[in-house]
Amino acid sequence: MPELSTLLVFAAATMALLIVPGPAVVYVVTRSVAQGRAAGLVSVAGIHAGSAVHVVFAAAGISALLYASATAFTVVRYAGAAYLVLLGIHKLLRRTDDGALVDPPRASRRRLFTQGIVVNVLNPKTAIFFLAFLPQFANPARGPIAIQMAVLGLGFIVLGLASDGCYALAAGALAGRLRRTPKARRVLDRSSGLVMIGLGGVAALAGNGRH
């Protein structure tokens, strides 16, 4: 187990990273805007279930193999980008026969949770982040590195749930007021689709200079 002082420094560093909005926060906010606070919170849970997968991968060394293989890294990166783009296009193209926008069916909580997992697991940048970040706070003298990384990863997830949950609640509350008018709902829905497509584009291009 890491020392208490190490855990406190890790918590401070983690919060500093989490407070700055990244792709996961943007995704959560988008979901909260589109479907409300409950949807945002479920998406947060899905995102960090995906984080748990990355923590296991980092502890097991799988992330190192992913980073070492340019082909594997590229395949996972483009798969994640394509998934985000498809989600965005699906929102933008949902129209009636006369071209009028209609409210899309509300995604089930199970589907929102699953989508959150997929979005995060298919982000190789997150895998590399955990591989690079967690070992900085591990000490071989304190026991097996894999166990220490698992403990640190669990701490990151708990703090991430709290931080991202705040973003979901704030975005959901604001969007709830805005969605009271049909025009505002159309703008928010279109914006959500465009943001997801934008995230997909960023994800596709972000790894070009990794070596």
Would you kindly state where each structural domain of the chain is located, as residue ranges? 4-206
Point out the least confidently predicted range of 126-135, 169-178, 191-200.
Answer: 191-200
Q: Give, to the nearest 10 degrees, the angle between helix 182-206 and helix 23-35.
A: 160
Please state, rounded to an integer, the average pLDDT across all residues of the chain: 76
Q: What is d(CA 138, CA 128) in angstroms, rounded to the nearest whole number?
A: 16
Q: Say what the pLDDT of residue 206 is.
A: 57
Q: Say what the pLDDT of residue 192 is.
A: 64
Taking only the tens place, the pLDDT of each residue in 93-104 is: 765 444 444 444
Taking only the tens place, the pLDDT of each residue in 109-141 is: 899 999 999 988 887 778 878 877 887 787 777
pLDDT band at 67 (very low <50, low <70, confident <90, very high): low
For the segment 67-85, the average pLDDT, to the nearest whole number, is: 67
Q: Say what the pLDDT of residue 45 is.
A: 96
% of residues, the chain, pLDDT over 70: 67
Taking residue 23's Cβ as centre, other Cβ atoms within 10 Å add up to 21
Is the pLDDT score of 105 beyond 90?
no
Taking only the tens place, the pLDDT of each residue in 133-163 is: 887 787 777 878 788 888 899 999 999 999 9
68 Cβ neighbours under 8 A, 6+ residues apart: none
Q: Say what the pLDDT of residue 174 is.
A: 79
